[in-house]
Amino acid sequence: MSRRALEKRFRRFLKHSVLNEIRRVRTDQIARLLAETELPVAQIALDLGFDDVQHVSRYFRAVRGLTPLAYRKAHGRAMRVPARRDRWRRRFRRRGIGQAEAGEDPRFPRTGLRAQNGGYFTQMA
């Protein structure tokens, strides 16, 4: 089968050219990585075989109409919601509760324990 015959069949079945399908697949890969990971755009570019970030940005914007970073902001994962423990710590930190004294191990505030090598604790003087 000749190249031209293949292109005609492709266009007849998918209603667009081979080049447009390649662009669609590549931009879908970029979009998926932008939305599902926190990888920098430069790393995504290298992983997908692009030469540089500017090329990826131009390529993606020509097909999707958004820059990669704008796409990530609109379609990326929601920002990390702090765990309950983090919210609890913030609440008490504002009140001055749970803050370590100078020299204390921050994992055990206001207990007077100081961490030593090997995981043993000694009483502060």
Domains of the chain: 3-75 (1.10.10.60), 84-118 (no CATH)
Tell me how crowded residue 24 is: count the other CB atoms within 10 A of its CB: 13
Tell me how crowded residue 112 is: count the other CB atoms within 10 A of its CB: 15
CB neighbour list of residue 52: distance below 8 Å, 6 or more residues apart: 45
pLDDT score of 96 more than 80: no
Q: What is the C-alpha to C-alpha distance for residues 117 and 125, in angstroms, rounded to an integer?
A: 18
* pTM, to two decimals: 0.57
Could you tell me the pLDDT band of residue 108, with boundaries at 50, 70 and 90? low
Strand partners, 121: 115
pLDDT at 52: 87
Q: What is the C-alpha to C-alpha distance for residues 47 and 72, in angstroms, rounded to an integer?
A: 17
pLDDT at 80: 47
Tell me how crowded residue 35 is: count the other CB atoms within 10 A of its CB: 13
Alpha helices in the chain (DSSP H): 3-14, 18-36, 41-47, 53-64, 68-75, 84-94
Average model confidence (pLDDT) for the chain? 76
Nearest CA among 87, 83, 71 for reference residue 36: 71
Q: What is the mean pLDDT of residues 77-84?
A: 51
pLDDT at 27: 93
